[in-house]
Amino acid sequence: MFETDVLEVPQSARTGSLPAESSVRTLLHDVHERYRDLQEGAVADYIPVLAEADPDLFAVSLAEAAGPMHTAGDTSALFTIQSISKAFVLALVTDAIGHESVHEIVGVNNTGLPFNSVIALELNNGSPMNPMVNAGAIATTALMPGRDGAAKFEAIQEGLSAFAGRPLRIDETVLESESASNHRNRGIADLLTSYDRLRIPAEDALDAYTRQCSLLVTSDDLAVMGATLAAGGVNPRTGRRVVSAEVCRDTLAILASCGMYELSGEWMFEIGLPAKSGVSGGIVAVAPGKGAVGVFSPPLDRAGNSVRGLRTCAYLSRALGLNLFASPSP
Q: Known catalytic residue: 86? A: yes
Cα(152)–Cα(158) distance, rounded to whole angstroms? 10
Q: Binding mask 200-229 vs ligand DON (x if CB under 6 A, - otherwise)? A: -------------x----------------
Compute the radius of gyration of the chain from its Cα atoms: 18
Q: Binding to ligand DON by residue 116, rule CB under 6 A?
A: yes
Of 127, 224, 261, 284, which residue is the catalytic one? 261
Length of the chain: 330
Q: Which amino acid is at 218?
A: T
Distances (CA, A) of 237 to 94, 180, 233, 251, 323: 23, 37, 12, 20, 24
Contact flag: residue 134 with ligand DON (CB under 6 A): yes
9 counts as catalytic: no
Chain-centre distance of CA 9, in angstroms? 25
Beta-strand runs (E) in the chain: 59-64, 69-73, 79-80, 216-217, 275-277, 282-287, 291-296
Task: Considering only the stretches 105-113, 262-270, 271-279, 322-330, report the one whose residues sit in contact with ligand DON under the rule CB under 6 A.
Answer: 271-279
Residue 157 lies near ligand DON (rule: CB under 6 A): no
279 annotated binding-site participant: yes
Q: Is 185 annotated as a binding residue?
A: yes
Buried b (16+ CB within 10 A) or exposed e, 105-114: bbbbebbebb
In the bound state with ligand DON, the residue whose beta carbon lies nearer, of 304 and 321, is 304
Q: Under rule CB under 6 A, how many of the chain's residues touch ligand DON?
A: 12
CB 165 within 8 A of CB 224: yes
Candidates 13-21, 144-152, 274-282, 313-321 — which segment interacts with ligand DON by CB under 6 A? 274-282
d(CA 5, CA 33): 15
Least separation in angstroms between CB 37 and ligand DON: 24
Q: How far is the CB of 213 from ligand DON (least distance, A)?
A: 4
Q: Does 156 bind ligand DON (CB under 6 A)?
A: no
> Is-catalytic flag, 102?
no
Q: Using CB under 6 A, which of the segments 14-22, 276-284, 290-298, 308-316 binds ligand DON?
A: 276-284
Q: Indicate the angle between helix axes 134-142 and 202-213, nearest 10 degrees.
A: 110
Query: Catalytic: 83?
Result: yes
Q: Does 304 bind ligand DON (CB under 6 A)?
A: yes
Are 291 and 230 in contact, with CB atoms under 8 Å apart? yes
Q: Closest CB to ligand DON among 117 and 193?
A: 117
Strands 79-80 and 216-217: antiparallel
Residue whose C-alpha is closest to residue 260's, from 156, 135, 130:
130
Instruction: Kindly state whether residue 259 participates in binding ligand DON, applying the rule CB under 6 A.
Output: no
DSSP 78: -
Residue 82 makes contact with ligand DON by CB under 6 A: yes
Q: Which of residues 179-198 bind ligand DON (CB under 6 A)?
A: 185
- Please give the annotated binding residues, written as ranges: 83, 134, 178, 185, 209, 261, 279
Active site residues: 83, 86, 209, 261, 279
- Please give the annotated binding residues for substrate, written as ranges: 83, 134, 178, 185, 209, 261, 279
Q: Write out the residues near ligand DON by the rule CB under 6 A.
A: 82-83, 115-116, 134, 178, 185, 213, 277-279, 304
